[in-house]
Amino acid sequence: MSLRPSLWLLTLLFCGLTLAGAGAEAGAARPHTDTTGWFAFTIPWADASRTYTDASDLLLDAPGQDAATLIASRGFVVTDANGHFIFSNTGQRARFWGTNLTFSAAFPPSPDFPAGSGEFSDAQAAQKLAAHLAKLGFNAVRLHHIDSGDRPWGIWLDRDVDTQQIDPVQLGRLDYLIYQLKQHGIYVDLNLHVSREFVLGDGVTAADSFAAGDISYNKGATLYDPIMIGLQQHYAAQLLHHVNPYTGLRYADDPVILTTETTNEDSFFLSWVFDQINHDPTDPASFPAFYSQELDGWSDLAVAGSSLNRLRNPGFENNLTDWWTYTSGTAAATFTAAASGAYAGSKALKAQVTQSDGVGWHVQVGQSDLALQQGKSYRLRFAVRASQATTIQGYVMRDAAPWDTLGWSQTLNVGTGWSLITVEFVATATTYGQARVSFDLGQAARTIWFDAFEFREAEPTPGWHGWLRNLYGSTAAIQTAWAPVDPAPETEMLSNGSFETGLSPWGTSATAPAAATFSNDTTTASAGTRSLRVAVSQVDGTNWHVQAWQGGLGLQAGQTYRLSFDAKASVAGEIGANVMQNHSPWQGLGLWGGADLTTAWQSFAFVFEAAATDADARVSFDLGQAVRTIWIDNVSLKPHNPWGLLAGESLEANNIARIRRSEMAAYTDQRLRDTLRFYEETQRAYFTAMRAYIQQILGSNALNTGTASYIDSLADIRSMADLDFVDTHTYSDHPSWPSTAPWSPTGWVIDNDPWVNAPFTNLFDVAASAVQGKPFTVTEFNQPFPNRYAVEAPILMATIANLQDWDAVFQFDYTSDQNDVDAEQVTGFFALAGNPLATALMPVASRIFLGQQTAAAPASSSLVFTAQERYDSARYGWSGGVGEYLREAKGVQRAALFGSRLRIGDLDAATPAAPALPTPAGPIYVSGGGQLRWDVSAPTRGLYSFDADQAQGMVGFLNGRTVALSRLQVTGAADTAHFAAVTLQSGDGEPLAESTRLLLGVFTRVENTGMVWNAAETTLDDRWGGPPTLIEPMRLTVTLTLPAAVDLQVWALDAAGALDHQLSPQVLAADRLQLALDTGVDETIWYAVLRPLSPPQMQFLPLLQNLRLSWTETPGADRYELYRSLTQPYFNPTTPYETITGLSFTDANVLGDAGTHHFYLLRAVNDFAASEFAPRFGEMEFALAAGSQ
């Protein structure tokens, strides 16, 4: 995820005006947080010790199992009939709690490939990291952004040359990391296309136009351009065919590769939402013209035919840019862009051969960095003339040894007049960036002119126009299908919109200290003879403090309207154009628009759907942005009949536009549906073809998905439902950059709000995108630093994932920089490394999820959608996601998340269905099954809790509050940390009442030393502070209701989870224990509550000469140690005779020998404790006597 413009844009659009207000305060720094009493806490980065916080047991199928052989023994991960991951060899359900290693963190130095300059110096980093991740409870790692660049950040040898040559050092490091992960029982999610940006050396047409714009990682074009698809397949083959020397297996054959993801956050619907799939000639940052044109495509009805051109500067209008020239031997020539006599345009290439040595190739001109795909037909066209009748040699050939032709080589006769030459050929090899078009000109002294080059695939790209032709057959059929239904009169609703009769009935205002004068200007107008003139003389930062409006307008909910006007200003800049209530509470009614004015008259139009019925609405212009003069004229508000096929659009003209999301309200439903259906079918073809290539051609055994579309549109979900599993991403309070470049060190903001105050936000939308019969994963989640409430996210994700019965959850990320692996301070928004609170919560959340410590909802609900709804849903909310559609169109509440397990059962239903979902009532919401509770009865002091047999806990505003669960009660002091998570969970798989090893966690918030907020506490800018990390202390009273409370011991743990010092709890009753905790005094965030192991009760049974011993099970024990002496009844046990994981043991041939007498001691043990010995057993004349040691 990291470094993705899509997510910061998402946050910016979602948060809107709130972020703009926060950004205005970003420069107002205040002193750093008062951290008096806070304590330093750093979790050792390479710690893998078996302590009370160790969750590595969750990675195993049984205690004592060898992690190094575990993955091979299970077989591949496959999908069962119920739509869940299982292991092929065992049939066991497979769940995954993972993290992401991104950029250089995925390439830690290794013994065979040690660190270079500036890299992390520990050659054992991969082994140590894998062991540490296992301790944290991660059984999967997502390798993300590995295709971003060259060493140390990515896998390429030199990405400035091309993105095809893999760096053997980086590949070797990746091999070793995967090997070490496998040795520790950790699976790999291998991401293919994430942040690879193609370059000209890859043969990608107009690659530099992506770099110049706002489209990151070639997104959108990767889904259909044949060259980009071929490059993706080539890279997949490079990785999946590669044999890891440490495992001896191809990546394709190694069960450690759990899944592959074809591309990351890359779908037409993401591109469409962010308007990143149409070229705008006025916007150099928009989608590149070539790729927009390629997606538009051509039908066989197009009069002009395809105009795609994979050559750069084909008419030499930019002189000789992108063309090379060559002379050798005694030949001599000059090459210029002639400014006269061109075939087309204003220039042509002029090659003047002034001396020939008789060797044609000693004078050459050509263009390199082209791509060819074997077996595909290509068309080359160009205009050529010469100073005399002559011949030249033309080629399409390899631009490197062995310099062979790749499908075309021809001697061309050239006359003195322009000739347009067209050749078609079939490529004889596949090459990306190593093909060239070139001409040998050195046969004789003469002058040759070239112009108007075209090079493209011979078959026109069908694209949008070809799709429409196949669907409808003709322009007339399209016009009929797209025609508006029951058009209504478009009657003007405004009076005096051109100000021809003065200002009435328009209202105007200037709220002090803003100041402005409003007048009827007779000197300039765009329509008629008059306009509204607004002279703004003072502003105060609030745009609406200078306004002009007309009220008394009646709007009908669901009706589409069109607001249009003309405007100009003395100084260029934006104004606001809104349709809203003309009365309190002044809410918007469907349009909050903006118009960028220049000093010349421009026309603006906004089509919107009324959000509510209101008899007294207004059109309002907010004009207080700057001191200047603004003129407005020709204002109109009318009901709008949606447009179908526009006048002049046709298949013959090949100019039917793909409508943008910002335009969709203006067009008919059917035109929108067809636009989105085209996108859906095109990307489905890409995703299914890539899956087939990865699995069938390359033989990969890993499960595959296409992409995670975090907007969760139904069309995207339909595309992923064709594949092996469905994936998504979710973030709470992702940083955004409202007024600076994305990922700048300054200018970013967060809301810094708590998730618990917004029940089910994001989570319902995520859950509603799961598909029946397909495993469901969330491969990125986070509540990024420095959100002060971030301890809530892992608990929410783990318990909700259990409730909804999801299959995998991945935190984003562990770190993106290998040099931060051992960080002792928080270094970024997302990383666990250096963040002790986020790290400490991982084994807690992992045990909840992998240990299934909370339950799935007892009931399930099926969501049903028609094909038409997949497209109509795009009109809802900011992104057209399934959650927004369910809420706005079908009245579903977010709280339905708590009612049942949600799955999409049908995406192609015959008729729409109104879902009847079990939905608990608020403000205290209780989940199906009763284990989860979300309490917003105090709206600004939310509280989330879970109460199950093996785990209980809470997160929210705990100061001055008592929260009682069945076995855990917490009372936060009034003057302590306001927000915290407190958890109690079994560490041995037993219920809390029986467990011998409980982990009690108290998690508040963390800051770097010297960290400085702005006044609004919405940004640090670049004032992140330094080490050590400091934890806010909390004082609380914890009451535990557990059997035999007097036997319990309570210990504060150190940063590695080992026993540090024992506490003295108060026993309130036989089953109640109370702790007065001050985490600042104890300098810890976690505690162990220990119950001694009870000794097993042993029995015996003589069987001839054998003696069978059996015993009762001890809760919390994972093995039993049997000690034996042949002669001494009261021997001192030192080394176990046998260690047994079961409940019986047969000692063979021990009876009947009068010279020996066997005596036995038995105790229950686990990695942390041992019980007292069971009563001694001995053999005396076949009579067993019991006694005490």
The string of pLDDT tens digits covering residues 221-263 is 999 999 999 999 999 999 999 999 999 999 999 999 999 999 9
pLDDT at 2: 39
Q: Which spans in 423-561 are helix H?
A: 463-472, 475-482
Distance CA 898, CA 854 (A): 13
* Whether pLDDT at 456 is above 50: yes
**DSSP summary character for residue 1136:** -
The string of pLDDT tens digits covering residues 858-895 is 999 999 999 999 999 999 998 999 999 999 999 999 99
The pLDDT-based confidence of 765 (bands split at 50, 70, 90) is very high
pLDDT at 383: 99
What's the one-letter identity of residue 861?
S
Q: Hey, which residues does 391 pair with through a beta bridge?
A: 413
What's the one-letter identity of residue 746?
T
Q: Hey, which residues does 811 pair with through a beta bridge?
A: 99, 781
pLDDT at 674: 99
The pLDDT-based confidence of 25 (bands split at 50, 70, 90) is very low
Instruction: Give the CA distances from residue 803 to residues 798, 928, 1159, in Å, rounded to whole numbers and listed in that order.
Output: 9, 8, 51
pLDDT at 1155: 66
* Whether pLDDT at 708 is above 80: yes
pLDDT at 481: 98
pLDDT at 1105: 85
Burial class of residue 1171, CB neighbours in 10 A (0-12, 13-18, 19+): buried
Neighbouring C-beta atoms of residue 587, cutoff 10 Å = 11
The SS3 of residue 77 is strand
pLDDT at 777: 99
- Structure pTM? 0.92
Among 822, 832, 762, 1001, smallest CA distance to 99 is for 832
Residues 6+ apart with CB under 8 A from 952: 945, 946, 965, 966, 967, 968, 983, 984, 985, 992
Q: Hey, which residues does 561 pair with through a beta bridge?
A: 608, 639
Residues 6+ apart with CB under 8 A from 162: 156, 199, 201, 202, 432, 433
Arithmetic mean of pLDDT, 456-474: 97
The C-alpha angle with vertex 469 and arms to 463 and 475, in degrees rounded to 5, equals: 120
Mean pLDDT, the chain, as a whole number? 94
The C-alpha angle with vertex 581 and arms to 576 and 585, in degrees rounded to 5, equals: 105
Among 255, 2, 266, smallest CA distance to 140 is for 255
**DSSP summary character for residue 290:** H
* Whether pLDDT at 650 is above 50: yes
Contact (CB, 8 A) for 169 and 222 = no
The pLDDT-based confidence of 31 (bands split at 50, 70, 90) is low
Q: Which tokens is 638 given?
A: 């009318």
The pLDDT-based confidence of 30 (bands split at 50, 70, 90) is low
Contact (CB, 8 A) for 796 and 944 = yes
Distance CA 10, CA 16 (A): 10
Among 861, 943, 867, smallest CA distance to 898 is for 861
For 492, phi then psi, to 5°, come to -65, 135
* Whether pLDDT at 18 is above 50: no
pLDDT at 64: 86
Using DSSP bridges, classify how beta strands 1072-1078 and 860-866 pair: parallel, antiparallel or unpaired: unpaired
pLDDT at 1103: 85
Distance CA 261, CA 1174 (A): 54
pLDDT at 1: 55
Distance CA 298, CA 300 (A): 7
* Whether pLDDT at 359 is above 80: yes
The string of pLDDT tens digits covering residues 1064-1110 is 999 999 999 999 999 999 999 999 999 999 999 988 888 888 889 99
Among 864, 968, 956, smallest CA distance to 915 is for 864
Residues 6+ apart with CB under 8 A from 8: 734, 735, 736, 737, 742, 743
Quote the crossing angle between the two packed helices 836-850 and 792-804, to the nearest 10°: 10
The string of pLDDT tens digits covering residues 926-965 is 999 999 999 999 999 999 999 999 999 999 999 999 999 9
pLDDT at 1110: 94
Residues in the chain: 1189
Contact (CB, 8 A) for 1162 and 1174 = yes
pLDDT at 671: 98
Contact (CB, 8 A) for 1124 and 1158 = yes
Contact (CB, 8 A) for 1067 and 1044 = no
- C-alpha Rg value of the chain to the nearest Å: 36
Query: What domains appear along the chain, each with residue ranges and CATH number?
Result: 43-276+683-858 (3.20.20.80), 324-459 (2.60.120.260), 507-637 (2.60.120.260), 867-909 (no CATH), 924-1090 (2.60.220), 1098-1187 (2.60.40.10)
Dihedral sign for Cα 550, 551, 553, 558, please.
Answer: positive
Residues 6+ apart with CB under 8 A from 1142: none
Among 101, 103, 121, 102, smallest CA distance to 111 is for 121
Lowest mean pLDDT among 154-158, 195-199, 267-271, 1164-1168: 1164-1168
Burial class of residue 78, CB neighbours in 10 A (0-12, 13-18, 19+): middle
For the stretch 863-891, what's the b/e string if a residue is b when 16 or more beta carbons lie within 10 angstroms of its beta carbon? bbbbbebbbbbbbbbebbbbbbbbbebbe
Residues 6+ apart with CB under 8 A from 908: 866, 867
What secondary structure does DSSP assign to 193-250, as a single string?
A: ESS----GGGT-TTHHHHHTSS-GGGTTGGGT-HHHHHHHHHHHHHHHT-EETTTTEE
